[in-house]
Amino acid sequence: MKIQKLSEDTRKNLLEDLLKRSPNSYGQYEASVAEILNTVKEKKDEALFAYTKKFDGADISVENILVTEAEIEEAYRLVDEDLLRVVRKALKNIEEYHAKQKQYSWFDSKPNGTMLGQKVTPLQRVGVYVPGGKAVYPSSVLMNIMPAKVAGVDEIIMTTPPGKDGKINPTTLVAAKEAGATAVYKVGGAQAIGALAYGTESIPKVDKIVGPGNIYVALAKKAVYGHVSIDSIAGPSEILVVADETANPRFVAADLLSQAEHDELASAILVTTSEELAQKVSEEVDKFTAELSRKEIIQKSLDNYGYILIADTMEEVIETANEIASEHLEIMTANPYDTMTKIRNAGAIFIGEYSSEPLGDYFAGPNHILPTNGTAKFFSPLSVDDFVKKSSIISYSREALEEVHKDIEQFAAAEQLTAHANSIKVRFE
Amino acid sequence: MKIQKLSEDTRKNLLEDLLKRSPNSYGQYEASVAEILNTVKEKKDEALFAYTKKFDGADISVENILVTEAEIEEAYRLVDEDLLRVVRKALKNIEEYHAKQKQYSWFDSKPNGTMLGQKVTPLQRVGVYVPGGKAVYPSSVLMNIMPAKVAGVDEIIMTTPPGKDGKINPTTLVAAKEAGATAVYKVGGAQAIGALAYGTESIPKVDKIVGPGNIYVALAKKAVYGHVSIDSIAGPSEILVVADETANPRFVAADLLSQAEHDELASAILVTTSEELAQKVSEEVDKFTAELSRKEIIQKSLDNYGYILIADTMEEVIETANEIASEHLEIMTANPYDTMTKIRNAGAIFIGEYSSEPLGDYFAGPNHILPTNGTAKFFSPLSVDDFVKKSSIISYSREALEEVHKDIEQFAAAEQLTAHANSIKVRFE
């Protein structure tokens, strides 16, 4: 891995490089995505079946688009029992963590008869998109579905592209069932997003669409935003390790590689005050890479978006970490909790040398669907919050309104909204 | 107002009519908005000054784009003292309500050395857009800024278009100052959104943009979503009154009109089980309208999107209200709290005959920036939540990781992510 001295220039270049990976810079696909969405909106199921034939090579019809109980039972027979045991252990942790995120309706009343509050209501129906292809990520299925289940969503609808044989990967199906999906439909790509956003004869319209996908899926989600809600648009994976001279270079190297292996756009960055650590991590990275099965992806990812940066002070390290706002941030310093208090922007923060990033991907409980590409400055991990919405509650008694009615009428008059003023006035004629 | 019997057909037609007002159906402006955004991204301040000259007829330069302390002092001299007093009273209520929305960082630890948590961090810098034009809505300034202030946002930057004289309306300025804006810039339209999203020499890039605006502003916000965060895109205002025979027809009529006066696309709907009430409300609406200053707007709004619907049962009334998911929902029934428990979708719920909608617009405390156009099914009122973001916290001890490391390795292996497995394995070599 390349080692660089941290300077204003390296930081600026690095940020520019990383932002190039933004899912917002793929305008050239927008037209085809818009066409797919419009066709699905208009022709509904017919369009879904045609696109699934075209893009996935599968024959899907109204007869088999919905996964049956028999297919789920078959999937259970095909999935390794030991993996199922691990999935269930992970799910327990995920459920326990998300349960703590639950927000409750509240109200506040005063003796003059005012009651103000906030009512929390689960969304009624949500769509979870799960990518197809060779890579199968059951962990992602769990992480998308469980927060919706904990929130109390009535219907959790999953869509995922079928293989050429019209089947869904059994591990994906079992994960969906275990996590609590209420229906699974065999459709993928922008057409699946269109179906969830507008509804078809087979697939009901949802209130919100979540889940990662390729560039077509990301652009389709962005296009239907407003018509339905969406989660934040996922970009390539990232890890940033903040370390001082106390860090174990083998651990740091292994953790950087765990993200670099995702894809060629993934980014792995170490920012440290220790030149010695930088050197050793670079060596360990080379050693590990040679042995890992995904070495080609890793090498490209490291060449493009892998950095080891040496800073003069821990303040500079922190400042850089906050500027980059990494999806995953690991802290391996002498006082990691102290360092954590200074971190402003990160999707998930892993504290200390035994909190390796994959622990969060699979097992610990917090969601692994995290803001990428600098969006941790304003977006949050996927959570129970994403599957509820709030209504304000306002209740005034006659007495309470009478106390303030002249003030409200005056405010309305200042905005020249006389019908607003009238609706208060009429109550005290 | 037209009175109709509620049926499947009337409900379907009504929903279709209302959705036509969606800010998502204005594709024809997208190209000009994209051009403005690109020009601002590239030419920064120069573009802002040119567009401000073109669209607002004002000469703005690097010298005067930022509102000065002297301008704010002048504004205070121009604003009615009595209005200022009301603004301060309203602000106190708004601050008090929003303070109750604050979420706190939390953690949960176990004796084996695991600590999981969620860190809540305010956004660093946000942009608040305030429309210009003849209508001046200081209440909207308060409602946009206060939640950001309560959340603890460092910099709250407001932009609003100047008049031809290069000045900002004094009431707007005073409201901004009172609510806690840290800077006010004289720029409006899609160009203001571009400046806030990308930054210019004068205006710093923000993390999130909130605030209502015309169709150009709405489309610009949607276009920059992902690059920065935005609040939900505001459509025309709406009120839906749920009432039985106990409701006061004058109150209902006055409240319907308070929304109809906003603009010609505003919607005012009464759904009731009482034919008598329907008839009386219709008469009162006519009487009031004749006297109100904005009668022309009101008449057009009522003709287009005003409905009185008579249902057979209160269940049908509720079902219709939930289907429409109105921005504002008033409940005037014999047992309004009981009715409220059945309301699933609404931006704000006003309970009982003294909780007139304008009470919420100006004074009670809950935010008046609410989801419109059916989006209350998945969006929430603007709140303190909009101005914070969360980071997951994961901390495992050696002991805790050792207990589960084999499970995690197995999960990673099942996803064929060997570098993920390696990062756990290396810790127990």
- Residue positions counted in chain A: 429
What three-state secondary structure class fits A230?
Answer: strand
Q: At what angle do helices A215-224 and A30-43 cross, to 10 degrees?
A: 60
Which segments of B are annotated as binding site for NAD(+)?
Answer: 129, 191, 214
In a domain, A343, yes or no: yes
Taking CA atoms, B170 is separated from B56, B70, B163, B345, in Å, by 17, 12, 11, 37
Same domain (yes/no): A74, A150: yes
What percent of chain B clears pLDDT 70, i.e. is strictly above it?
99
Same domain (yes/no): A146, A252: no
In a domain, B92, yes or no: yes
The confidence score (pLDDT) of residue A350 equals: 98
Cβ separation A419–B254 shorter than 8 A: yes
The confidence score (pLDDT) of residue A215 equals: 86
Nearest alpha carbon to residue A393 among B237, B150, B314, B365 = B365
What is the radius of gyration, based on Cα positions, of chain B? 25
In a domain, A378, yes or no: no
What is the rounded end-to-end Cα distance, in angstroms, of chain B?
Answer: 79
Please report how many Cα atoms fall inside a 13 Å half-sphere around the Cα of residue B157, on the Cβ side: 27
Q: What is the dihedral of CA B345, B347, B349, B350, to 10 degrees?
A: -150
Number of folded domains that form chain B: 3
In a domain, A239, yes or no: yes
Please name every residue paired with A351 in a beta bridge, in sequence order, or none if there are none. Answer: A331
Q: Closest approach of chain B CAs to the CA of A122, in angstroms?
A: 9
* Domain endpoint, select from B181, B196, B230: B230
Least confident of A180-194, A301-315, B9-23: B9-23
The confidence score (pLDDT) of residue A166 equals: 94
Q: Which residue has the tokens 């127990």?
A: B428
Q: Examine the pLDDT at B133 and tell me if it is beyond 80.
A: no
What is the rounded end-to-end Cα distance, in angstroms, of chain A?
Answer: 78
Mean of all residue pLDDT scores within chain B: 94
Please report how many Cα atoms fall inside a 13 Å half-sphere around the Cα of residue B284, on the Cβ side: 22
Q: How confident is the model at residue A276 (pLDDT cuts 50, 70, 90)?
A: very high
Please name every residue paired with A109 in a beta bridge, in sequence order, or none if there are none. Answer: A115
Same domain (yes/no): A347, A258: yes
Q: Give tens-digit pLDDT for A156-198.
A: 999 999 999 999 999 999 999 999 999 999 999 999 999 999 9
Count of A–B CB contacts within 8 Å? Answer: 361
Rounded CA gap, A241 and A346, in Å?
A: 11
Q: Closest approach of chain A CAs to the CA of B57, in angstroms?
A: 24
Averaged over B223-248, what is the pLDDT? 91
Same domain (yes/no): B87, B220: yes
The tokens for A231 are 């989660």
CB atoms inside a 10 Å sphere around CB B46: 14
* Domain endpoint, select from A207, A230, A253: A230
Q: Where are the alpha helices (DSSP H) in A249-330?
A: 249-260, 275-291, 295-305, 314-324
Query: Which residues of B belong to the active site?
Result: 327-328
The tokens for B152 are 């603890």
Asked if A140 contacts A130 with a C-beta cutoff of 8 angstroms, the reply is yes
Cβ separation B138–A414 shorter than 8 A: yes
Q: Examine the pLDDT at A23 and tell me if it is beyond 70.
A: no
ipTM of the complex: 0.94
* Domain endpoint, select from B315, B338, B364: B364
Which segments of B are annotated as binding site for substrate?
Answer: 237, 259, 262, 328, 361, 415, 420
Q: What is the largest CA-CA distance in chain A?
A: 85
A410: contact with B, CB 8 A cutoff: yes
Q: Give tens-digit pLDDT for A232-275.
A: 877 889 999 999 999 999 999 999 999 999 989 999 999 999 99
| Cα torsion B55, B56, B59, B65: sign | negative
The confidence score (pLDDT) of residue B16 equals: 83
Q: Give tens-digit pLDDT for B344-396.
A: 999 999 999 999 999 999 999 999 999 999 999 999 999 999 999 999 999 99
Least confident of A55-64, A100-109, B212-221: B212-221
| The A183-186 sheet, strands edge to edge | A183-186, A155-160, A125-129, A208-210, A229-230
Q: What is the dihedral of CA B86, B209, A376, B414, to 10 degrees?
A: 120
**Helix, strand and coil percent figures for chain A, each rounded to 5:** 50, 15, 35
Q: Closest approach of chain B CAs to the CA of A56, in angstroms?
A: 21
Query: Which residues of A belong to the active site?
Result: 327-328
Q: Residue A189 corresponds to which amino acid?
A: G
Q: At what angle do helices A8-19 and A295-305 cross, to 10 degrees?
A: 130
Same domain (yes/no): B247, B187: no
Q: How confident is the model at residue B176 (pLDDT cuts 50, 70, 90)?
A: very high
Cβ separation B415–A80 shorter than 8 A: no
Asked if B96 contacts B366 with a C-beta cutoff of 8 angstroms, the reply is no
Contacts of A255 in chain B (CB under 8 A): 423
Question: B334 Cβ partners below 8 Å, 6+ apart?
Answer: B244, B246
Q: At what angle do helices B295-305 and B275-291 cross, to 10 degrees?
A: 150
Cβ separation A395–B254 shorter than 8 A: no
Q: How confident is the model at residue B26 (pLDDT cuts 50, 70, 90)?
A: low
The tokens for B55 are 């669209």
Averaged over A327-354, what is the pLDDT? 97
**Phi and psi torsions of B229, nearest 5°:** -90, 160
The confidence score (pLDDT) of residue B334 equals: 97
Same domain (yes/no): B176, B265: no
Q: Give tens-digit pLDDT for B141-157.
A: 999 999 999 999 999 99
Show which of residues 29-68 on chain A sit within 8 Å of chain B, judged by CB atoms: none
What three-state secondary structure class fits B222?
Answer: helix
CB atoms inside a 10 Å sphere around CB B277: 23
Asked if B191 contacts B51 with a C-beta cutoff of 8 angstroms, the reply is yes
Same domain (yes/no): B108, B185: yes
The confidence score (pLDDT) of residue A25 equals: 57
Same domain (yes/no): B424, B336: no
Q: Give tens-digit pLDDT for A202-241.
A: 999 999 999 988 889 989 998 898 889 999 877 889 999 9
Tell me, what CATH number does B113's domain have? 3.40.50.1980
Q: How confident is the model at residue B88 (pLDDT cuts 50, 70, 90)?
A: very high
Q: If 0-12 CB within 10 Å is exposed, 13-18 middle and 19+ buried, where does residue A68 land?
A: exposed
Rounded CA gap, A126 and A147, in Å?
A: 11
In a domain, A386, yes or no: no
Question: For residue B403, what are the domain limits?
Answer: 398-428
Q: How confident is the model at residue A111 (pLDDT cuts 50, 70, 90)?
A: very high
In a domain, B373, yes or no: no
Rounded CA gap, B119 and A307, in Å?
A: 27
Nearest CA in chain B to A427: B251
Q: How confident is the model at residue B307 (pLDDT cuts 50, 70, 90)?
A: very high
Same domain (yes/no): B256, B184: no
The confidence score (pLDDT) of residue A78 equals: 96
Same domain (yes/no): B173, B284: no
Q: How confident is the model at residue B24 (pLDDT cuts 50, 70, 90)?
A: low
Q: How confident is the model at residue A284 (pLDDT cuts 50, 70, 90)?
A: very high
In a domain, B255, yes or no: yes
B299: contact with A, CB 8 A cutoff: no
DSSP H or E run through B409: helix B398-414
Contacts of B226 in chain A (CB under 8 A): 22-24, 222, 232-233, 375
Q: Where are the alpha helices (DSSP H) in B306-377?
A: 314-324, 336-341, 357-362
Show which of residues 262-281 on chain B sit within 8 Å of chain A, judged by CB atoms: 262
Rounded CA gap, B197 and B205, in Å?
A: 5
What three-state secondary structure class fits A126?
Answer: strand
Same domain (yes/no): B17, B68: no
Averaged over A280-292, what is the pLDDT? 96
Q: Examine the pLDDT at A26 and tell me if it is beyond 70.
A: no
Averaged over A75-100, what is the pLDDT? 96
Same domain (yes/no): B239, B226: no
The confidence score (pLDDT) of residue A213 equals: 87
Please name every residue paired with A156 in a beta bridge, in sequence order, or none if there are none. Answer: A126
Q: Examine the pLDDT at B25 and tell me if it is beyond 60.
A: no
The confidence score (pLDDT) of residue B298 equals: 94
Averaged over B8-25, what is the pLDDT? 78
Q: Examine the pLDDT at A107 and tell me if it is beyond 70.
A: yes
**Helix, strand and coil percent figures for chain B, each rounded to 5:** 50, 15, 35
A375: contact with B, CB 8 A cutoff: yes
Q: How confident is the model at residue A386 (pLDDT cuts 50, 70, 90)?
A: very high
A412: contact with B, CB 8 A cutoff: yes
Least confident of A319-323, A385-389, B30-34: B30-34
What percent of chain A clears pLDDT 90, i.e. is strictly above it?
86
In a domain, B391, yes or no: no
The confidence score (pLDDT) of residue A123 equals: 98
